[in-house]
Amino acid sequence: MGATLLRAGIGCIATLAMGLVVDAHEAHAQIAVFKSMEKSDSALARWLSDITLVGQIEGGIMANPARPQPGYNFGDFFADHANQVQLNQAEFTLQKAIDPSRGGYQVGFTLEGMYGSDARYYQILGVSAHEWNARYQLIPAQAHADVHLPWATKGGLDMHAGILQAPMGVETLDPTTRPFYTIAYTSEYSVPFQHIGAMFNWHVTDMLDVTFGIDTGNQTSFGKSDNNNAPAGYFGFNLNNLAHGKLNIIELSRVGPENSRYSSAGGRYEADHAERFWNDINATYAVTDRLTLTGEFNYIHDQGLNGIRPNGNFKAADAESFVSFLSYKINKVLTFNYRGEIYRDNNNLMVATFIGNNSYMDGISGRASPGSTVMPGPTGHGTTYGEMTLGVTYKPDLGHHVRVFMLRPEIRFDRSLNGTTPFNGGRNNGMFTFGGDAVIGF
């Protein structure tokens, strides 16, 4: 059975990849929409000449020989449907990028639309959530104005305001920026995803950047589309080009109420006052031109996730985790990748699998829909999850105006390290999956 699934998985990925390669010959890399205006006498026309359009498609499969019921890989968002090929993302981005290194006043923007199964987890209440009932959904993944202000220091200040992808953590929504098809528990349960708000990056020195911002909350908007009446915000720093340019460190913290007034045991008061504290620090070190190491530590604490005690004090839930990454470039087209993670869910309130296309956003809003189902983790005092993923990235230069092409097979081992049985429909304390994805972009 395992061999059959392996052949099926490889066959599906190869078929998808070949189809993408055939289409790639008709693609064009990073279209400059108004390129002909770059020598115009009009300042507006020259500004328009730098606007670019890019597109990208990703699809994949993660096979599970245990054939879990009801058919989900527990604790996996992007590849949650076991033994099924899915279109994860089809996205287009129209952008006028700002470049802090150029100095001076700059104004730009980013507009990104995305369709696919990944969009189920990146909706925003009041913007796109609950507009779709299918597995494949449509979202405005980004829609923000970008400004560079040459103020205070040589590097100046960058501002991004609008619909923003959350900046915390190592792994992102864009598959070309992360080493694997699947993502870590930390990236799913301990960092936010989307915001409406403003983020600022102050380039204090060549070595130090300071980050801060404010927003309505994780995946919420305004008024009745906010799950509580309090904002949240970021603060942190980047240390760049340490150890002769080999080491970079990013620390980012976030605080604000995130629980819904519709589901909190303490109602509106708890939702507005029980703070959630998110903390993430990661460091990347280039050992050699081929070998890169990354370590990430995360701690999340929610004062009110489990309700209010009889004495009026908030209960609390929290989790801490450590993720390590290794990347070794075998040659110019092939890279070996490793990820290892320990994730401690102290109250069994963080890790769950969302069965139902809108059940994740139902959890954010606090209003469960009739078709919403959540498969929770184990009961009891907590679970320690271990996860190891091995894979390779095949990234040749296809030419023919193809911006990026990637094939990423991987194998993944998940295990409860303290004897609970969260996997494969609650039957096992471990889970083995294998598969991968294909990505192509112009």
Q: How far apart are the first and last CA of the chain?
A: 38
* Inside any domain, residue 252: yes
Q: In 3D, which of 319, 433, 327 has the Cα closest to residue 385?
A: 319
Confidence of residue 22 (pLDDT cuts 50, 70, 90): very low
Per-residue pLDDT at 401: 85
User: Helix, strand, or coil here: 439?
Assistant: strand
Query: Per-residue pLDDT averaged across 405-410, rounded?
Result: 98
What is the percentage of the chain residues whose pLDDT exceeds 70?
93
* Inside any domain, residue 403: yes
* Inside any domain, residue 351: yes
Nearest-5° Cα angle at 243, 240 to 246: 70
Per-residue pLDDT at 74: 95
User: Helix, strand, or coil here: 277?
Assistant: strand
Per-residue pLDDT at 315: 87
Per-residue pLDDT at 370: 67
Distance of alpha carbon 22 from the chain centroid: 29
Per-residue pLDDT at 267: 86
Q: How far is CA 311 from each of CA 264, 266, 308, 314, rounded to the nearest angstrom? A: 16, 12, 8, 9
User: Helix, strand, or coil here: 73?
Assistant: coil
Domain that residue 413 falls in: 31-441
Q: Which of 13-27, 194-208, 229-243 has the lowest mean pLDDT?
A: 13-27
Q: What is this structure's pTM?
A: 0.90
Distance of alpha carbon 90 from the chain centroid: 15
Per-residue pLDDT at 59: 98
Domain count of the fold of the chain: 1
Q: Which of 5-14, 124-133, 196-205, 394-403 has the highest mean pLDDT?
A: 196-205
Confidence of residue 223 (pLDDT cuts 50, 70, 90): confident
Per-residue pLDDT at 192: 97
Q: In 3D, which of 325, 324, 323, 317 has the Cα closest to residue 377?
A: 317
* Inside any domain, residue 9: no
Give the tens place of pLDDT for each residue, 146-192.
999 999 999 999 999 999 999 999 999 999 999 999 999 999 999 99
Query: Per-residue pLDDT averaged across 53-68, rounded?
Result: 96
3-state helix, strand, coil in the chain (%, to 5): 15, 45, 40
pLDDT at 2 over 60: no
Give the tens place of pLDDT for each residue, 230-278.
999 999 999 999 999 999 999 999 999 999 998 888 888 999 999 999 9
Per-residue pLDDT at 70: 87
Q: Which of 28-37, 120-129, 184-193, 385-394 has the lowest mean pLDDT?
A: 28-37
Per-residue pLDDT at 28: 46
Query: Per-residue pLDDT averaged across 221-227, rounded?
Result: 87
* Inside any domain, residue 19: no
Give the tens place of pLDDT for each residue, 319-330.
999 999 999 999
Per-residue pLDDT at 8: 42
What's the CATH code of the domain at 209? 2.40.160.10
Per-residue pLDDT at 29: 62
Q: Which residues contact 383 (CB under 8 A, 6 or more apart)?
A: 344, 345, 348, 351, 377, 416, 418, 420, 422
In this structure, what DSSP letter does residue 440 have?
E
* Inside any domain, residue 24: no
* Inside any domain, residue 97: yes
Query: If you average pLDDT over every residue of the chain, what do you get?
Result: 90
Distance CA 304, CA 395 (A): 45
* Inside any domain, residue 200: yes
Hey, what are 18's tokens? Answer: 């070949």
Q: How far is CA 50 from each of CA 35, 96, 164, 425, rounded to the nearest angstrom? A: 7, 6, 21, 51
